[in-house]
Structure 1
Amino acid sequence: MIKLLIIMFGVSFAYASSGESVGALPDLTFTWVGFASLAIFIVGYYFVASEEKYHIDKAKPALLTGTFLFILVALYYAINGMDMNLVHTEVEHVILEIAEIFFFLFVAMTYIESMIHMGVFDSLKYKLVSKGYSYRKLFWATGFLAFFLSPVADNLTTALILSTVLITIERNKASFLVPGAINIVVAANAGGAWSPFGDITTLMAWAAGKAPFVDFLFLFPASIGGYFITAYLLSRFVPEDVPPFDASTEKKPEMMRGAKVVMALGVFTIVCAVLSHQVLHLPAMWGMLFGLSLLKLYAYRLKRVYNSDFNIFHSIAKIENNTLLFFFGILAAVGALYFVGWLALAAVVYDPSVLGPTWSNIGVGFLSAIVDNVPVMSAVLKANPEMGIDQWLLVTLTAGIGGSLISFGSAAGVGVMGKLPGIYTFSSHMKYSWTILIGYIVSIGIWYVQFEILGIY
């Protein structure tokens, strides 16, 4: 709610459920297939990060890497006469993870494209711009909306919605779009860190029983403090002029008939996703697909009763399929690394004689930006190091907001890259990454004072 990775509650439980099988797997890290897998992953990720340099869509290297790695691992098992059922079982787990996140994102993006078609975002843009807000005020408005919407709607859905608003406000001014896009990504990830429903990492920790529901709310000061610092620094690069608007020539856009109902159905679909998992113990995407069925039925009613031209399949056709394929590839690639055994090595650093929990949890944030917060958090949960609630909340915070350090380090970032292709890229994000790093450090500092010094949690 696309590293997601995006987008989005269901994948965490697929990972959690795979813990038993992973524990029985042979460690292949220091075999030729282990080193080859790591090297292929690094090369593939290089081309993902160099999308702007080589003008190759990020989905291509991600999909090639993800599919090839499991083929390579399966080949190793076959050559050495190992139990092929282990490969089959693990691939099934990965397919489950990918399917849950894929369909979750599929529905979320369909709703967004439907609202675009019905003029919802054009209307919102008109209301914002017609008030005479400057680019800088619009920057702050979209950022705070993202921060407070993310805990309910989740970081990916929030980022997709507000990046759509951003691009309808301005399509060409990079000095506004790039900081604005980064602001939305950081706000969505920071806002999702203090709610079990806001980000996949918080949901994983909560589902594993590492902290009660209300304890996550204690991360609010660290989340908003770090975000505010980053947003303030970014805002200094946003122009203060006002978007061009002439009330005499600018026609007020009208939303299509039924647009408000579609918006209400979108909210209801999110509620269904939450209730689907929390109450009925079904994957979250089950509730999302139920919501999609309601949207299809409502589109049918609009056609029959009002002869509306709203067609749900036109919205589906406009979905960013390259973003979905990127997620498929990257989740498969990370799943292969986990299967081989590389991610399990991370648990060693939690030993007090190495780094200890605090520095290890801080490092999780940086690792989640490079690899993906889902398998990293899963590895930590499976290793289950001896830590108090304060440390489990720290790793939840760092894994959640650490993905903002790199554009494709979180579901929100990947989703926004798909919405602003050629504008919000890896290199444009890295130009301002120092502002995110400062905010990350501030968040950790606030956590330390609140949890370790004052003991407020």
Structure 2
Amino acid sequence: MTTKIEGAEGVIHAVDLAVRPFGWLLLTIFVVGYYFIAAEEKYHINKAKPALFTGTFMFMLLGGYYAVNGLDFRAFDTEIAHLILEIAEIFFFLFVAMTFIEALIERNVFDALKEKLLKSGFNYKKLFWVTGLLAFFISPVADNLTTALILSTVLITIEKNNKAFLIPAAINIVVAANAGGAWSPFGDITTLMAWSAGKGTFIDFLFLFPSAVIGWGITAFLLSRFVPEGAPEKIEGAEPVKIHKGGKVIIGLGVFTIASAVLGKQLMHLPPMWGMLFGLSLLQLYAYTLKKYHKNDIQIYKSVSKVENDTLLFFFGILAAVGALHFAGFLNHAAKLYTLFDPMYVNMGVGFLSAIVDNVPVMSAVLKSSPDIPLAQWMLVTLTAGVGGSMISFGSAAGVGVMGKLKGIYTFSAHMKYSWTIVIGYFASVAVWYIQFEVLGLYIKPAVQAIAGH
């Protein structure tokens, strides 16, 4: 049996290793590697390390297997070239996005936001809703992990001891950040992956907004019933936090960079990372003029140095590992689920799997297997992979990040106590998707897109 790999020379057939002992060895290495990724807290090892080792080691073994057995390397070369391109696009996109976030942090933009909340005098109920709304609307631009980390820091600064408030508020931030990231290609790595793979246009993902906001809103309403009355002590006499010079301009440059990525992808057929790197060049030039003419050093290279390289290397490793499973033939067999069962139910299952495994490898596997499903189903799997990770505390990067910020408070067991509210919101999101996409057809059909393109 063979696996089909599309290359410049047409369809090239690779050996289907899923039916051979060597293929099962690869699968075993993947499972063991992923165990150490998932058990990051237990072994105190950053998940980037086992991810990078697993992904690179699996392809080293594949290359060795082809060399020892004298097999045709054309399919192998094609898979590697596709994988490098796919990873590079995501890698540079995230690199630029993280650099902008670090530059905004350096200019005190987020500290100014935090100070306003600290001095607001809001009671617990209002803080719950305000932080949730901010998470939902910031994450589409700043990504769900960064948003969750910033707002969870605000929570623990406002109130350090009241678990009755902190736990539901932390869960609300995680759910809101993941839901907000699901309807924007910039909000979640899984949405970015689907957009980069051409499974929908930028506008297509925006049609997921009703599903995302209603699902989060229902979960937030249920969680709010557990938020206690009263208010935290108002902080008085603190020095006002001002945004440093250039901070507001960088916000504008960030918006322009996002527009460049979108227009470059939709109109000029450039990968999203191209527009992002163009925006980074403008940020660097602005930093130069700010320093030369205003004697104000924005320290852009220090911002670049603070980019979380472990996060980037984790994505490299996990995408390489899933790519190895695809090349070995396993994902072709997994894609048959879409022909055996209704794609809607399979995609709903993807959401639950995302909560257990993590949505990045799950979405990568779906994209690699590339089942023949319509646009509406690609939007559904983007939605379920994005919001499904909220059901378990470690099912998403946002959840893991908040667990780190609120150690001993926001824990696995604390999250699971309220997980039923998230499950209800999850099914509500799917129900809204079904009514909008399947019953009413309120989205841009591919045929309409094709006509508009002409």
Same structural fold, with TM-score higher than 0.5 when normalized by the shorter chain: yes
The match for 1:253 is 241
The match for 1:310 is 298
Unaligned stretches of 5+ residues in structure 2? 444-454
Greater RCO structure (CA 8 Å; 6+ sep): 1
* C-alpha separation in 1, matches of 2:275 and 2:253: 12
Cα distance, 1:123 vs. partner? 0.8
The match for 1:333 is 321
Cα distance, 1:377 vs. partner? 3.4
Cα distance, 1:89 vs. partner? 2.4
Q: CA RMSD in A?
A: 3.6
Which range is displaced more, 78-87 or 257-266? Answer: 78-87
SS of the residue 2:234 aligns to: coil
Which range is displaced more, 110-119 or 358-367? Answer: 358-367
Q: How does 1:205-354 map to 2 (within 5 A)?
A: 219-235=208-224, 242-247=231-236, 249-351=237-339, 354=340
Cα distance, 1:96 vs. partner? 1.7
The match for 2:390 is 404
* C-alpha separation in 2, matches of 1:306 and 1:374: 46
Contact map agreement 2:352 2:388 (CA 8 A) in 1: yes
* C-alpha separation in 1, matches of 2:408 and 2:278: 34
Asked whether 1:137 is paired with 2:89, we answer no
SS of the residue 1:71 aligns to: helix
Contact map agreement 2:215 2:426 (CA 8 A) in 1: yes
User: Pick from 338, 349, 352: which aligns with 1:366?
Assistant: 352
Which range is displaced more, 420-429 or 340-349? Answer: 420-429
* C-alpha separation in 1, matches of 2:218 and 2:421: 8
* C-alpha separation in 2, matches of 1:327 and 1:203: 12
The letter for the 2-side match of 1:378 is: L
Length-normalised TM-score, structure 2: 0.81
Cα distance, 1:355 vs. partner? 2.5
Cα distance, 1:397 vs. partner? 2.8
Cα distance, 1:327 vs. partner? 1.3
Cα distance, 1:250 vs. partner? 0.9
The match for 2:450 is none
The match for 2:63 is 74
* C-alpha separation in 1, matches of 2:62 and 2:413: 33
Cα distance, 1:284 vs. partner? 0.9
Cα distance, 1:287 vs. partner? 1.2
Contact map agreement 1:323 1:414 (CA 8 A) in 2: no
The letter for the 2-side match of 1:358 is: M
Q: What is the CA deviation profile of residues 328-369 of structure 1, one whole-angstrom value per residue up to 9, with x for unaligned ones?
A: 111111111111121222221223xx4222322222223344
Asked whether 1:46 is paired with 2:32, we answer no
The letter for the 1-side match of 2:152 is: L
Asked whether 1:28 is paired with 2:14, we answer no
SS of the residue 1:25 aligns to: strand
Taking structure 1 as reference, are residues 210 and 64 closer, same or farther at Cα in structure 2, changes over 3 Å only? closer
SS of the residue 2:17 aligns to: coil
Which range is displaced more, 40-49 or 421-430? Answer: 421-430
The letter for the 2-side match of 1:145 is: L
Asked whether 1:128 is paired with 2:117, we answer yes
Contact map agreement 1:134 1:240 (CA 8 A) in 2: yes
Cα distance, 1:446 vs. partner? 3.5
The match for 2:108 is 119
* C-alpha separation in 2, matches of 1:105 and 1:207: 12
The match for 1:356 is 342
Cα distance, 1:51 vs. partner? 1.3
Which range is displaced more, 40-49 or 228-237? Answer: 228-237
SS of the residue 2:28 aligns to: helix
* C-alpha separation in 2, matches of 1:323 and 1:177: 26
SS of the residue 2:336 aligns to: helix
Taking structure 1 as reference, are residues 376 and 310 closer, same or farther at Cα in structure 2, changes over 3 Å only? same
Cα distance, 1:136 vs. partner? 4.2
The match for 1:9 is none
Contact map agreement 1:323 1:418 (CA 8 A) in 2: no
Taking structure 1 as reference, are residues 216 and 53 closer, same or farther at Cα in structure 2, changes over 3 Å only? closer
Q: What is the CA deviation profile of residues 302-332 of structure 1, one whole-angstrom value per residue up to 9, with x for unaligned ones?
A: 2222222421111122222221221111111
The match for 1:438 is 424
* C-alpha separation in 2, matches of 1:221 and 1:324: 31
User: Pick from 91, 99, 118: which aligns with 2:88?
Assistant: 99
* C-alpha separation in 1, matches of 2:37 and 2:418: 19
Q: What is the CA deviation profile of residues 20-76 of structure 1, one whole-angstrom value per residue up to 9, with x for unaligned ones?
A: 978733221122222122211111221111111221111111111111111122122
Which range is displaced more, 404-413 or 272-281? Answer: 404-413
* C-alpha separation in 1, matches of 2:185 and 2:315: 22
Cα distance, 1:147 vs. partner? 2.6
Give % identity. Answer: 59
Taking structure 1 as reference, are residues 267 and 407 closer, same or farther at Cα in structure 2, changes over 3 Å only? farther
Which range is displaced more, 231-240 or 117-126? Answer: 231-240
Contact map agreement 2:197 2:367 (CA 8 A) in 1: no
Cα distance, 1:99 vs. partner? 1.6
The letter for the 1-side match of 2:346 is: S
The letter for the 1-side match of 2:60 is: I
Which range is displaced more, 301-310 or 125-134? Answer: 301-310
The letter for the 1-side match of 2:150 is: T
* C-alpha separation in 2, matches of 1:112 and 1:200: 16
SS of the residue 2:341 aligns to: coil
Contact map agreement 1:201 1:377 (CA 8 A) in 2: no
Taking structure 1 as reference, are residues 85 and 121 closer, same or farther at Cα in structure 2, changes over 3 Å only? same
Q: How many residues align?
A: 433
Taking structure 1 as reference, are residues 236 and 64 closer, same or farther at Cα in structure 2, changes over 3 Å only? farther
Taking structure 1 as reference, are residues 105 and 455 closer, same or farther at Cα in structure 2, changes over 3 Å only? closer
Q: What is the CA deviation profile of residues 219-258 of structure 1, one whole-angstrom value per residue up to 9, with x for unaligned ones?
A: 44432222123223444565655444332x2111112111
The letter for the 1-side match of 2:347 is: N
SS of the residue 2:14 aligns to: coil
Length-normalised TM-score, structure 1: 0.81
Contact map agreement 1:163 1:181 (CA 8 A) in 2: no
